[in-house]
Amino acid sequence: MSTGRLTIDLDAVAANWRALDAKSDPGVQTAAVVKADAYGLGVGKVGRALAAAGARRFFVAVAEEGAALREALGPGPEICVFSGHMSGDTDMMHDLGLVPMLNSVEQITRHFEALPGHPFGVQLDTGMNRLGMEPGEWAALRDLVVSQGPRLVMSHLACADEPDHEMNRQQLNVFLSMTDGIEAPRSLAATGGILLGPDYHFDLTRPGIGLYGGLPFEEAQPVVHLDLPVIQIRDLAAGESVGYGNSWVAERPARVATVSGGYADGLTRHLSNQAVLFFEDTPCPLLGRVSMDLIGVDITHLKDKPKALSMIGPHQSPDDLAEIAGTIGYEILTQLGARYARYYARGRA
Ligand SMILES: *Cc1c(COP(=O)(O)O)cnc(C)c1O
């Protein structure tokens, strides 16, 4: 087999959910955010593992993702949709029992007209200016909306991965004043917010990235392992080059492995000449440019001829790759390609 092998440790996902759940009081519910196909890891398998671990409420970005999740989970767990109730969503919301987080006057009107009595939540904008109702809008509608018994009133923090950022406290204060005195359950914290402490937990937390082993949850167990098979090994003389654009030239004789995997598999070209792969514990520098399907790797210093090299694993996390590529772990995970052979492990074999 010549495709990369992506192993997703479902026990680690479950352990991360439990560890984040343990960071808030027992009275605080811990949900699970599984948007974007569970951050690229597969919403069916991941969703079922989280439900088995105890998650009872799930969040997705759009109704279509809710449909895929409902298929995997069956009836029971509550599935909430961040983008709210868009035109065209009504039948899906109704038939699959999805709960829209209503973001605007337009969505509230649509929802109350199209599905009276159907559960809903509300998203408030406390300063991120992305989704949710503005304080002025909310003040005008609050009594009416609250009288309909929202399942949740939520907002989202813009800077929760920077604990000292003044925006955190500012958004907390806006959220407190917008929700003062209401009975509906409230939620403000994603992974970063959980780590900011109990002031941010309210009734429900919504971790995503921490479940998948990513920062800012430093204690997370690693979830993803990516091993790339070696397709060919060749010996180079000094002065020979590797890959497109001759961007790496051997200064001395070198041995180069060509592995299967490239930017079409989510291994961004920004890793060119920067990243390392691992053979067991030994780092092996990536040579030259990342191609669409292939990567050159320096194995001059290895005694053995490796059959595969590790791109993501115990020695290198998605956040490490993100750091090299100038992005965030979220983007590395969600870009993991469709070509990999995926294995879902219970514990790392
Ligand atoms: C993505 C998202 C989350 C989860 O955030 P993480 O940083 O991955 O924990 C929670 N709430 C909202 C509104 C989101 O968009």
CATH number at residue 322: 2.40.37.10
pLDDT at 349: 43
For residues 53 and 141, membership in a common domain is answered with yes
Domain assignment present for residue 44? The answer is: yes
- Could you tell me the residue range of the domain that residue 109 belongs to? 10-212
Domain assignment present for residue 3? The answer is: no
Residue 38: CB within 6 Å of ligand 1?
Answer: no
Q: Contact 156/172 with Cβ under 8 angstroms?
A: no
- Which CATH number characterizes residue 122's domain? 3.20.20.10
For residues 75 and 207, membership in a common domain is answered with yes
Count of domains observed in the chain: 2
For residues 206 and 255, membership in a common domain is answered with no
Sequential pLDDT tens for the chain (349 residues): 789 999 999 999 999 999 999 999 999 999 999 999 999 999 999 999 999 999 999 999 999 999 999 999 999 999 999 999 999 999 999 999 999 999 999 999 999 999 999 999 999 999 999 999 999 999 999 999 999 999 999 999 999 999 999 999 999 999 999 999 999 999 999 999 999 999 999 999 999 999 999 999 999 999 999 999 999 999 999 999 999 999 999 999 999 999 999 999 999 999 999 999 999 999 999 999 999 999 999 999 999 999 999 999 999 999 999 999 999 999 999 999 999 999 999 865 4
For residues 292 and 325, membership in a common domain is answered with yes
Question: Is the alpha carbon torsion for 290, 291, 295, 298 positive or negative?
Answer: negative
Domain assignment present for residue 5? The answer is: no
Give the mutation target among 39, 50, 62, 206 for probing the ligand 1 site: most ligand atoms within 8 A of CB.
206
Q: Ligand 1: which atom is nearest the Cα of residue 160? A: 7
Helix (H, G, I), strand (E, B) or coil at 2: coil
pLDDT at 346: 87
Residue with CA closest to ligand 1 atom 6: 208
User: Tokens at residue 109, please?
Assistant: 């009107």
Residue 82: CB within 6 Å of ligand 1?
Answer: yes
pTM of the model: 0.96
**Separation of alpha carbons 243 and 159, rounded Å:** 40
For residues 232 and 179, membership in a common domain is answered with no
For residues 169 and 275, membership in a common domain is answered with no
For residues 176 and 98, membership in a common domain is answered with yes
In whole angstroms, what separates CA 299 from the centre of its chain?
32
Domain assignment present for residue 194? The answer is: yes
pLDDT at 1: 73
Burial class (CB in 10 A: 0-12, 13-18, 19+), 101: buried
Q: Return the residue matching tokens 């020695």.
A: 315
For residues 103 and 83, membership in a common domain is answered with yes
